[in-house]
Structure 1
Amino acid sequence: MSWCRPSAEVAEAGRRITAEVVGVDLEKGRVRLSMAATENPELRAFLKRLNRGEILSGVVAAIERFGVFVALDDGPAHPVFPGVGFISFAELSWQRYEVVTDVVQVGQRISCEFLQFDTWNGEARLSLKGMRPDPLRTFTDRISVGEILSGQVTKLVPFGVFVQVADGIEGLVHLRELAWTTVEAPEDITRVGDRMPVVVTELDVERRRVTLSRRRATPRPG
């Protein structure tokens, strides 16, 4: 619809409108249109000429509960949002973080990789973590399943513990893999900050999962 006018003013049977085609669904026989696109031609033109992988710079304009807005240096203002650039929480950092402000602050200058043109919101989807190498791929290039590592316990959860085995790399030791005997709760075996030997049992880059075993890194009793 329109970003400039209330929906009641434009959604009226018989009213002539100008809109841009933003999608075609051949299966359902539908064409998706955007009135907002024709009302903001400068913004639309800027977003359409961006290419995936292009590096864009700007200032963090706002941190919201659903992501981070970036006011881009070379882009026009957005008619609704604090910035025309947007970073989802998943694209902020390769590493786990507790709060967004651990990664970025409002007013901070950043450079990001352009991912795609969000035609629905009229914004540039960006990635901050794309500016850095993927630590998991670096890790899997030099570590193989079956290797024994030493790591520090970072978090206890009901189904096991997370252990940091390299900078930015945490793996899960499932409850059943903590010891040769039955373990009811992870705190029966360890606590945050402890170091433990672990065996790498699975490396899944696509699902971004590292699975570990403390049990297999310790002698079997008896």
Structure 2
Amino acid sequence: MIAVDPEEGRVRLSTAATEDRELWQFLKGLQKGEILSGTVASIESFGVFVALDDGPRHPVFSGVGFITFPELSWRRFEDPSEVVEVGQRVSCEFLQFDTRNGEARLSLRALQPDPFATFADDTEVGQTLSGRVTKLLPFGAFVQVADGIEGLVHLSELARTPVETPEEVVQVGDQVSIVVMEIDVERRRLLLSLRHA
């Protein structure tokens, strides 16, 4: 696929990648977990292309390597330019050969320590922490307790008496003391309580 035009209801396709024998041979020779280096070639609205040092040129895209946004970083970000920039040298882990687009799916975050796992190792259920309210939603509030680590304070855990909205108790930017209720490393989920603090 080259481009999607939602207003026109069209998708432009190209078979150039699937007909490029050198590209196909290179991609088929890669092993899951292999470390590949290259240069960020472009940042698009759907991901980041990487021109790989040892790879051929892609006949359609600006790079043979491709990183989806979730694979850029363990931390939440609003814009991919907060993590990488065009021209930046990167090393990534090879995840899989995308036969549809003729590209190597890569992960930048796989080579970085997971801050949630480190946090979980150093934190216990029942521990009191301080943090900053970062987001309010109808079901609760998110509180940042460490760099890149946010947890949810469910509406039922905001106050000792029932509340209908988080705004009745906290506002974005408030510094609060909270108690750790649950740490789920596998799902990377942290549940917190304000009413128990």
Q: Aligned-pair distance for 1:124?
A: 0.6
Q: Aligned Cα RMSD in Å?
A: 1.7
Pair 1:181-2:193 in alignment:
no
Pair 1:136-2:94 in alignment:
no
TM-score, reference length from structure 1 = 0.78
Q: Name the structure 2 match of 1:97.
A: 77
Moved more, 103-112 or 66-75: 103-112
Give, in whole Å, the separation in 2 of the partners of 1:140 and 1:169: 10
Structure 1 outlier segments of 4+, above 6 Å: none
Q: Name the structure 1 match of 2:15.
A: 3
Q: Name the structure 1 match of 2:143.
A: 163
TM-score, reference length from structure 2 = 0.87
Where does 1:1-222 land on structure 2 (aligned, <5 Å)?
3-4=15-16, 37=18, 39-217=19-197
* 2:163 partner letter: V
Question: Any idea what SS the aligned residue of 1:68 has?
Answer: strand
Is the contact made by 1:3 and 1:79 (CA closer than 8 Å) also made in structure 2?
no
Gaps of 5+ in 1: 5-35, 218-222
- Can you list the C-alpha shifts for 1:119-152, whole angstroms capped at 9, x where unaligned? 2221111111112101111111121222221111
Q: Aligned-pair distance for 1:108?
A: 2.0
Q: Name the structure 2 match of 1:10.
A: none
Moved more, 72-81 or 144-153: 144-153
Q: Aligned-pair distance for 1:60?
A: 1.4
- Can you list the C-alpha shifts for 1:62-121, whole angstroms capped at 9, x where unaligned? 222211111111110111111110001110111111111111122222221111111222
Give, in whole Å, the separation in 2 of the partners of 1:99 and 1:3: 31
**Percent identical:** 68
Give, in whole Å, the separation in 2 of the partners of 1:165 and 1:194: 12
* 1:3 partner letter: T
Give, in whole Å, the separation in 1 of the partners of 2:182 and 2:136: 20
- Can you list the C-alpha shifts for 1:30-84, whole angstroms capped at 9, x where unaligned? xxxxxx54x3221112112222222211121122221111111111011111111
Give, in whole Å, the separation in 2 of the partners of 1:179 and 1:42: 62
- Can you list the C-alpha shifts for 1:158-188, whole angstroms capped at 9, x where unaligned? 2211111122111011111111112222222
Is the contact made by 1:61 and 1:71 (CA closer than 8 Å) also made in structure 2?
yes
Q: Aligned-pair distance for 1:2?
A: 6.4
Larger RCO (CA under 8 A, 6+ residues apart): 2
Gaps of 5+ in 2: 1-12
Give, in whole Å, the separation in 2 of the partners of 1:121 and 1:197: 48
Question: Any idea what SS the aligned residue of 2:196 has?
Answer: helix
Pairs aligned (count): 185
